[in-house]
């Protein structure tokens, strides 16, 4: 049984075995949570981009990832709270518009990361709110989709026991708790 918990915190300091990066398809960690993870992992985001792009070519064989594909990089300096790997996934760009196509792309992004965590044999994985930041997807819809996908994934999970959705701001955390209580 996989449990799902929404928490407030800094994903770069969260004590999960794997954290997920909400990346762009070229793994060019230039803003938002991707930049924060790159800076925390390598100190120099440009160095982490180099590491990520090398992993991208080795693991995917092309210079971009699509929805549902993931790339794994080492945690580097993120190992202090117990993080072993960073899984990079790309969610949909919404620009404030939510529809079934965007939901399906987000579902693929989340499920791809969960399945990779399962393949890695870890028990805990922490996600940011993929696509809810600079990609402009409605936070409440993103969280509802997370819950649905984790429930679906729970039917196939063997090693993953706990999935966290880590929200950075108190405002977003309160907003999500309120939306889910309805």
Q: What is the CATH number of the domain that holds 81?
A: 3.40.220.10
According to the model, what pLDDT value does residue 38 have?
95
What whole-number distance in Å separates Cα of residue 61 and Cα of residue 92? Answer: 21
| Residue given tokens 């026991």 in the structure block | 161
CA distances from 151 to 1, 73, 84, 144, 157 (A): 9, 26, 24, 11, 10
Structure confidence by residue, pLDDT tens digits, 28-65: 988 889 999 999 999 999 999 999 999 999 999 999 99
pLDDT at 81 over 90: no
Domain, as residue range, for 79: 3-181
What whole-number distance in Å separates Cα of residue 53 and Cα of residue 56? Answer: 5
Structure confidence by residue, pLDDT tens digits, 150-163: 999 999 999 999 99
pLDDT at 176 over 70: yes
pLDDT at 147 over 70: yes
Q: Which among 168, 180, 163 is positioned nearest to 134, based on CA atoms?
A: 168
What DSSP string runs through 116-161? HHHHHT-SEEEE--TTTSTT---HHHHHHHHHHHHHHHHTT-SS--
According to the model, what pLDDT value does residue 182 have?
55
Q: pTM to 2 decimals?
A: 0.95
Structure confidence by residue, pLDDT tens digits, 127-144: 999 999 889 999 999 999
pLDDT tier at 79, thresholds 50, 70, 90:
confident
Helix, strand or coil for residue 20? strand
Instruction: Name the percent of the chain lying above pLDDT 90.
Output: 89
According to the model, what pLDDT value does residue 84 have?
96
More confident residue, 80 or 73: 73
More confident residue, 81 or 108: 108
Mean pLDDT score across all residues of the chain? 94
According to the model, what pLDDT value does residue 53 have?
95
Structure confidence by residue, pLDDT tens digits, 84-93: 999 999 999 9
If one counts the domains in the chain, the total is: 1
């Amino acid at each position: 049984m996989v449990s799902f918990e929404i928490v407030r915190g800094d994903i770069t300091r969260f004590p999960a075995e794997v954290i997920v990066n909400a990346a762009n398809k070229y793994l060019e960690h230039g803003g938002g949570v991707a930049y924060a993870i790159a800076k925390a992992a390598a100190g120099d985001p440009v160095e982490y981009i180099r590491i990520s792009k090398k992993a991208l070519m080795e693991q995917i064989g092309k210079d971009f990832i699509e929805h549902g594909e993931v790339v794994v990089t080492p945690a580097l300096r993120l190992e202090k709270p117990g993080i072993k790997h960073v899984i990079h996934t790309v969610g949909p760009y919404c620009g404030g518009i939510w529809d079934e196509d965007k939901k399906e792309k987000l579902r693929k992004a989340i499920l791809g990361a969960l399945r990779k965590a399962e393949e890695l044999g870890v028990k805990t994985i922490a996600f940011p709110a993929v696509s809810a930041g600079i990609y402009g997807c409605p936070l409440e819809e993103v969280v509802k989709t997370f819950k649905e996908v984790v429930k679906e994934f729970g039917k196939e999970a063997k090693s993953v026991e706990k999935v966290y959705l880590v929200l950075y701001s108190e405002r977003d955390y309160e907003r999500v708790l309120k939306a889910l209580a309805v």
